[in-house]
Structure 1
Amino acid sequence: MSILIGIVPLILIILIIASVIGIKKGNEESVERGNEMIKTVYVYLILFATLMMTIGGTVAAFMAVADIVAPPGYYQSFEQYKMQPQYKGEIPTPANPTQTLSDAELKEQYDRIVNDERSLTKQRALNSLIKSFGWIIVPLPIFLFFQRKVKQPV
């Protein structure tokens, strides 16, 4: 994609130089053809850019929908959760510095953390979906407008 970003300005510079050379020759017909060529290239560049934006937005929207339907993520197992030093069943409190939690209480905390992580992932995917629709909705009318400017061959 970065190569494309570098090529587009290069093509525009070459076209501008070619049209300037045509203008200096003084040939009126050549100038008109050069201007028409620049307009045509401009329209096609706009079509290409807006089409790529729309395709990118569509792919991102599809990925966001996939994340909503089946949220990705690694959830450690309950056994791994229990073995972490801060969750070994010992929660210090001012009254009882060595209070221990039962496996049922630890399992409840673990399930709550997993559910919170899933809902957070779904919320992020929904946010991404809304942003992706922006990449579809904004360039699509521009694409359709410039597509009508392209002359259809007879």
Structure 2
Amino acid sequence: MSEPSIATDDVVAVLNQILEAELAGVVRYTHYSLMVFGYGRIPIVKWLRGQADESLLHAQQAGEYITALGGHPSLGIGKLLESEKHDIGAILREALEHEQAALALYRELLKLVADRDIMLEEYARTMIAQETLHSSEVNKMLRMPGDLVPFAM
């Protein structure tokens, strides 16, 4: 018995949204890394640039799946609005919002491919796990030392 087929056009559309969101992440995290000042700059900049590199890898992965399905990768880029505030707290709150938006897109992809395409289902699950971990890391960074209660936006 074979798996039910996926709605390829719908899957490609969500993958293109993921591609655009991840490309926006590259720009966003790179911008943030340029706007960090103060004593703790070096490790924060390193972390932000690592996030930019990872967003580029995620965008490339989404693009590969798009073309594997016969689709055309978008040249667009996701939402880049910012608060114009560059203190570390504001940067991290914007980063958390970005991570949660990406997580929602991967969850949407999973709904489209679950029990229909093992490769795409595993990809979506892996990315959900990674984005959840990223959100958790940013959430911990937003907490005050010793505060065990998760940060709430």
TM-score normalised by the chain length of structure 2: 0.33
Structure that is richer in helix per residue: 1
Which has the larger Rg?
1
1 or 2 for the larger relative contact order (CA 8 Å, sep ≥6)?
A: 1
Report the TM-score, using the length of structure 1 for normalisation.
0.33
